[in-house]
Amino acid sequence: MPLYRLFASDDGATHIEPREASQFSFENGPGEFKGLGGMVLGDASRVLLLRFEAGITPSLHRANPGLAVLLEGELTVAVSDGTEVAMLPGDAILVESTGRGGWAPRNPGPKLALMTIAQMPSKPPSDQPPAD
């Protein structure tokens, strides 16, 4: 199952790169849960279900930080540096701050596609207190 990281470089361009879930640092549980590991990706503020009609090809637009998982259908996700990835059900993208570049989820297939996104607020710089 591919897990992608979508991020912005200092110049604001967006990029997407593959990651293996096994590369993340998981905390192991105690006792009988020793073989069960978990990690916190962020604090979800909203959970969305998005529907992409067949053939829809929106242009690049801002993406809010979160974890996007394709549930059904197929999507192609493009970013401002020209990279595209093809997503199948179960594939996920960890969306970091996307600056000015954004992303463009597109449905090239003949069927409806469904994606869920758990939005996570951006973390303020460590030298600034959280917004009220």
pLDDT above 60 (res 28): yes
Residue range 105-117, pLDDT digits in tens: 999 989 999 999 9
Q: Which residue has the tokens 């640092």?
A: 25
Supply the DSSP symbol for 23.
G
**Model pLDDT, residue 35:** 61
Percent of the chain with pLDDT over 90: 31
Q: Which residue has the tokens 């758990």?
A: 118
Report the alpha-carbon distance of residue 61 to residue 123 in Å, rounded. Answer: 21
Closest by alpha carbon to 22, among 45, 43, 1, 49? Answer: 1
Cα dihedral across residues 5, 102, 90, 121: positive or negative: positive
Domain 3-20+39-119 -> CATH class: mainly beta
Highest-confidence segment of 35-39, 59-63, 107-111:
107-111
For the entire predicted model, the pTM comes to 0.74
Give the three-state DSSP class for 8. strand
pLDDT above 50 (res 79): yes
